[in-house]
Amino acid sequence: MGSLGGARTVGRPAGAWRGIVEEFRRDLSLPADAPAITLREGNTPLVPALRAGRGADLFFKVEGCNPTGSFKDRGMAVAVSGAVAEGARALVCASTGNTSASAAAYAARAGLPALLAVPAGDGAVAKGKLAQALAAGARLVLVRGNFDQALAAVRTLAAARPHVALVNSVNPLRLEGQKTGAFEVVAQLGDAPDWLCIPVGNAGNISAYWRGFCEYRAAGRARSVPRLLGAQAEGAAPLVSGRPVDAPVTVASAIRIGRPASAHLARAAVAEADGRFLAVTDAQIIEAYRFLARQEGIFCEPASAASLAGFWAARASGLIPEGARAVCVLTGHGLKDPDRAVAEGDAPLEVEATAEALAGVLPPGVD
Ligand SMILES: Cc1ncc(COP(=O)(O)O)c(C=O)c1O
């Protein structure tokens, strides 16, 4: 590395994005001396919808562009920075997959071991997320139970151990980090949208966005706050029905949660925002998932598409009026769940390796 080697080269080109801990530090409740454990998360694109808007002015906040492919990285960067500042020796979490993928990466970055508890069972956690946790060398544990039971177990485990940091969204630093998604939406649009549509599982992210919008309005950085549309899968919709769900079922494994830990925060947020929780069927989720990939060019995971499915339902009922400005948060990347993508795709064709053979399978009308 010669004379340019060593710490001096670890800096950044002028103007480069530093990740949410440094970019938003003055707006985060994080000890001032906490190091920034960062993979340069945040600064994700806000992409205008071309075909999905149905008369509204719709945008997608593409959180799959975060370093581990989901919004969890915002919360994880702050939670792990705080954990390191407090002398944590290990991280633990329960997860439907994305939290574990993110925790594993940020643990690796921090040089800490991670214990990740995910539900056992075929299809309980999407393959890409398992791959991420394993690649990062975390201790992945399949627990015989659902997410809600796994979360209860890790909360009890961490409560008794001061050097074990729980990095689920019940850790207040997670929501602190995730509120930066709202900060970015305001900066990208010049103000808050009329509606924010977001998938809801454990209910941390919707609560975090609300906090972010309220803080920016209070600071005079936004004139308004949005109305919130929290989309849940029909088979896992405790915030719509008002009752916990003991055996949640949905194709959208990331939001297969029956007892949301932040239900109280999310209910308060939706009430203050004059918003709604709304249930969408698996068929509606998959329709939105396919549309996003095929008509908008955005490949997200099924749970993320619940936001668009919810938006469409709210447009159809008139809850979101024509011309309204709306943002759907697309929470995770489509590569997280390769099995679903393959199942929803058309079977590939196999032909001889010749131009003639390929010409025979050109799309109709192309010569
Ligand atoms: C891709 C994706 N979307 C949405 C959610 C729901 O977020 P929350 O649990 O904060 O409600 C999750 C949670 O795991 C997720 O992984």
187 in the same domain as 127: no
Q: Are residues 81 and 218 in the same domain?
A: no
Find the 96 Cα to ligand 1 centroid distance in Å.
Answer: 8
The reported pLDDT for the residue numbered 14 is 75
Evaluate whether 74 touches 41 at the Cβ level (below 8 Å): yes
165 and 295, same structural domain?
Answer: no
11 — pLDDT class (breaks 50, 70, 90)? low
Would you say 97 and 104 are in contact if contact means Cβ atoms under 8 Å apart? no
CA of 118 to the centre of ligand 1 (A): 14
- Per the DSSP assignment, residues forming a β-bridge with 264 are none
Does residue 90 sit in the same domain as residue 145? yes
Same domain, 327 and 278: yes
Residues framing ligand 1 (Cβ under 6 A): 70, 96, 98-99, 169, 199-205, 254-255, 301, 303-304, 331-332
Is 346 part of any domain?
no
Q: Is residue 20 part of a domain?
A: no
What is the atom index within ligand 1 of the atom nearest the CA of 98?
A: 16
Query: What residue type is assigned to position 324 of the chain?
Result: A
On the question of pLDDT at 6 being above 60, the answer is no
Report the SS3 class of residue 149.
helix
The reported pLDDT for the residue numbered 12 is 62
Residue 19 lies in a domain: no
Answer yes or no: do 40 and 80 share one domain.
no
Examine the domain organization and report whether 53 and 139 are in the same domain.
no
Task: Measure 350 CA to ligand 1 centroid, in angstroms.
Answer: 38
- pLDDT of 252 higher than 50: yes
Q: What is the mean pLDDT of the chain?
A: 95
Kind of pairing between the strands at 57-62 and 46-48: antiparallel
Determine the distance separating the centroid of ligand 1 and the alpha carbon of 205, expressed in angstroms: 7
Considering the domain architecture, whether residues 298 and 196 belong to the same structural domain is answered as yes
State the total domains in the chain: 2
pTM across the whole model: 0.95
221, pLDDT greater than 90: yes
Residue at 265 is within a domain: yes
The residue to mutate among 175, 196, 331, having the most atoms of ligand 1 within 8 angstroms of its beta carbon, is: 331
Model confidence at 326: pLDDT above 60? yes
Among 222, 218, 172, residue whose Cα is nearest residue 196: 222
Of 150-154, 210-214, 229-233, 362-366, give the lowest mean pLDDT range. 362-366
Distance (Å) from CA 247 to ligand 1 centroid: 18
89: in domain: yes
DSSP strand pairing (164-166 vs 90-94): parallel
Tell me which residue has tokens 């009329």: 194
% of the chain residues with pLDDT over 70? 97
Residue 103 sits in which domain range?
Answer: 72-171
My answer on whether 42 and 100 are in the same domain is: no
User: Is 240 in the same domain as 117?
Assistant: no
**Probe target for ligand 1 pocket from 170, 255, 328, 337, with the most ligand atoms within 8 Å of CB:** 255
DSSP string over 38-107: -S------EEE-SSS-TTSEEEEEEGGGSTTSBTHHHHHHHHHHHHHHTT-SEEEEE-SSHHHHHHHHHH
Q: Do residues 321 and 179 both lie within one domain?
A: yes
Domain CATH code at residue 228:
3.40.50.1100
Residue 354, in any domain of the structure:
no
By mean pLDDT, which of 14-18, 131-135, 198-202, 287-291 is the weakest?
14-18
Residue 100 to residues 92, 159, 356: CA-CA distances in angstroms? 9, 19, 48
Do 233 and 163 share a structural domain?
no
The answer as to whether 341 is a domain residue is: no
Is the pLDDT score of 3 beyond 50? no
pLDDT above 90 (res 8):
no
Whole-number Å distance, alpha carbon 360 to ligand 1 midpoint, is 44
> DSSP characters for 215-246?
HHHHTTS-S---EEEEEEEGGG-HHHHSS--S
